[in-house]
Amino acid sequence: MNLTLTILNPTGLHARPGAIFAATAKKFKSAIQIRNLTKDGDWSDAKSVLGVLKLGAENGHQIELSITGEDEAEAAQTLRRVVENGLGESVTGVALQTPSAVQPSQPPANDRQLRGVPGAPGIAIGPVQRWQEQEIAVPRRAGCHPAIETAKLDTACAAAQVELEQLESKVTRDASASEAAIFAVHRMFLEDPDLLQAARGEIQRGVNAEAAWMDAVTQVAERLAGLSDPTIAARAADIRDVGQRVLAHLLGRAASAAFKMTQPGILLARDLTPSQTASLDKALVLAFCTAEGGPTSHSAILARALQLPAVVGLGDALLQMPDGETIIVDGGLGQITLRPLAAELEAARQEKARQAGLAQLAFSEAARPAISLDGRRVEVVANIGDVADARQALEFGAEGVGLLRTEFLYLQRETAPDEQDQYEAYRAIFEVFGSRPVVVRTLDIGGDKMLPYLDLGQEDNPFLGWRAIRICLNRPDIFQPQLRALLRAAQGHDIRIMFPMIAALQEIRAAKDAVAQAAAALKTEGAAFTANVQLGMMVEIPSAAVMADLFAREVDFFSIGTNDLTQYTMAAERTNKRVAYLGDAIHPAILRLIRQVTEAAHAAGKWVGVCGELGGDALALPILLGLGIDELSMTPAMIPQAKAVIRQWHTASAAKLAAEVLSLDTAQAVRAKVQNWPKA
């Protein structure tokens, strides 16, 4: 049977939508061919992500499917649905544009400074070196034994698959499923029939595996690069990245980001991918600076996890600097100093030494509680995503968990996890923490986190649409198994359940009712469970902050998700590079909302935590202390420093600082004020 469909999602069949389409097609036994009717193109294998990408299908184009086999009717119905629902994107009918470089949020203090957005705190001094991709020489031989060369290629692809799985898992934990999703696409490239058949065809003609593989990669990359849609054409870089990774294994080399610093220094780049950031050698890369990116970009989040100073969003002027020029990087302030004077260099060295000493001391005292100079204790806990994160959190001194992301159980699966799967996973994590508190966020999907087995329907703007608690309340078949598993696994542990994306009072009331329903069902069944758990909500929507006094009557605690609260308050979507300068959560507008939530909670006798990136920002910590935050949750590696910062401040001084910065007008002004404020 044949089927004609119109591509509705704004970016067309580029990497992620194309991967979703191919992955959906692969679920069926029927043979499925696809072609671009609008371009009168040739037929391709619809189960090949590269075959789908090379169509160059843009928003508004028509595609034709030819489906033949025993399940062709089901395949046609399913593929029609995923296309009409936008293939994981909002269906707006407006093509997206490639973002331009981010403009600095503040004018430079002088002509020797560039200001961008703080990526990761820390001071670095050194010569700059611009990122330059280095191609690996490809040997070419004829008359090779096909079986031997095929085995070499299969082994190299398998090794690359393992690396990509590890990177995907790491970035999912440290950043988000959205940023990690590109690794899933890369892994699909390694299994793509078009790419593998092209390489194996060359091998059968006696060409060595290295040359055959790279010939196939080059052919596919050039075909993609020649397409008119710039978003799809940009996938050529992904193909080349995968190609270089496999080639490294074929040559017996460790796979790398294909670039090495020649001496310790500061890395400059337009932007860095997750794999590039995760693979930076900290012995040589003292810090990095990018022309693009924002504070919640994958490169910035990974930099914080790696404790690598970084400034992002510096604009195109960054890329004009010649290699070898010495600069000072201040990741906390989000600025770099060019051609530094002797006095500036000495001051930066002293500050760097001071910070290094404090970091070493902080790690040695990570197990100690965070108690201010006047005796106020702030609980410092971790954001985690699985058992490995849980163990690491304890090593860094976590006093518990402020955000357990349960999405790790739902991602990269073809079906939803059942209650027993979830029970066992939760129980394993809870056992690591013993009696320490663990705050579990219920399933938070939608927006930039999609599940292939859950049809979310058409969304004009998924970040403002059906996501998180809104989905769960409408899908008890998904929500109830999770709540039942949590209540069962909570026995003997201090478990708190937190609901994301709460905007209205009826939502939190319905969520509480859902927990009561799960408990009642377990009791009727005679199952062992714990009913006495704290129930809280995330404050990440302005309406929740504005009405915090009313919400405080309904919950046991608040946890402020500053990443989403910032993007919704500033109307600046956090993955959009053009508006990244608005994404700094230390902005006075966000701090005012935090104050409002904290005051409302404390008036009702409830506690308040911060689980967004702001909670691990060293310059934000004294403000949060001054505003009365009770708990701070962050990436495990940031915990020792956060505890040390709290110990250096007197509550009265922090409160006075907080009061003053609320009257400032920019995030940069807030950071400057904190740096110059006396702690005691």
Mean pLDDT of the chain: 85
Reported confidence tier of residue 52, pLDDT bands at 50, 70, 90 = confident
Report the sign of the C-alpha dihedral through residues 567, 568, 569, 571, in that order.
positive
The least confident of 355-359, 386-390, 576-580, 613-617 is 576-580
Q: Mean pLDDT throughout 567-588? A: 82
Pairing of strands 44-45, 335-338: unpaired
pLDDT attached to residue 141? 94
Mind telling me the catalytic residues? 298, 611
190 residue type, one letter: L
CATH no. of 116-131+259-349: 3.50.30.10
- Dig out the tokens for 356 from the structure: 């290094």
Is the pLDDT at 6 greater than 80? The verdict is: yes
**CATH fold of 146-250:** Enzyme I; Chain A, domain 2 (1.10.274)
pLDDT attached to residue 456? 64
**Whole-number Å distance between alpha carbons of 372 and 38:** 66
Alpha helix (H) ranges present in 226-281? 230-233, 235-250, 274-278
Q: Right CATH number for 365-675 from 3.30.390.10, 3.20.20.60, 3.40.50.11140, 3.40.50.2000?
A: 3.20.20.60
Q: Angle 588-603/667-675 helices, nearest 10 degrees? A: 70
Which DSSP helix (H) or strand (E) runs through 45? strand 44-45
Say if residues 332 and 610 touch (Cβ distance below 8 Å): no
Which DSSP helix (H) or strand (E) runs through 488? helix 476-489
Select the highest-mean-pLDDT range: 85-99, 245-259, 574-588: 574-588
The least confident of 243-257, 262-276, 293-307, 429-443 is 293-307
The answer to whether 146-250 and 365-675 have equal CATH topology is: no
Reported confidence tier of residue 176, pLDDT bands at 50, 70, 90 = very low
Say if residues 500 and 442 touch (Cβ distance below 8 Å): yes
Comparison of pLDDT for 363 and 599, the residue scoring more: 599
Domain boundaries, the chain: 2-84, 116-131+259-349, 146-250, 365-675
pLDDT attached to residue 522? 97
pLDDT one-digit tens code per residue, 655-666: 999 999 999 999
Share of the chain above pLDDT 90, in %: 49
pLDDT attached to residue 523? 96
pLDDT attached to residue 106? 43
CA distances from 59 to 12, 45, 89, 90 (A): 5, 20, 12, 12
pTM: 0.62
Is the pLDDT at 149 greater than 60? The verdict is: yes
pLDDT attached to residue 105? 39
pLDDT one-digit tens code per residue, 193-209: 889 999 999 999 999 99
Pairing of strands 310-312, 285-290: parallel
pLDDT one-digit tens code per residue, 376-426: 999 999 998 888 888 889 989 999 999 999 988 887 666 789 999 999 999
pLDDT one-digit tens code per residue, 461-484: 767 888 889 999 999 999 999 999
Q: Where are the beta strands (DSSP E) in 116-208?
A: 117-120, 123-130
Reported confidence tier of residue 59, pLDDT bands at 50, 70, 90 = confident
pLDDT attached to residue 200? 94
Q: Right CATH number for 2-84 from 3.40.50.2000, 3.40.50.1000, 3.30.1340.10, 3.10.310.50?
A: 3.30.1340.10
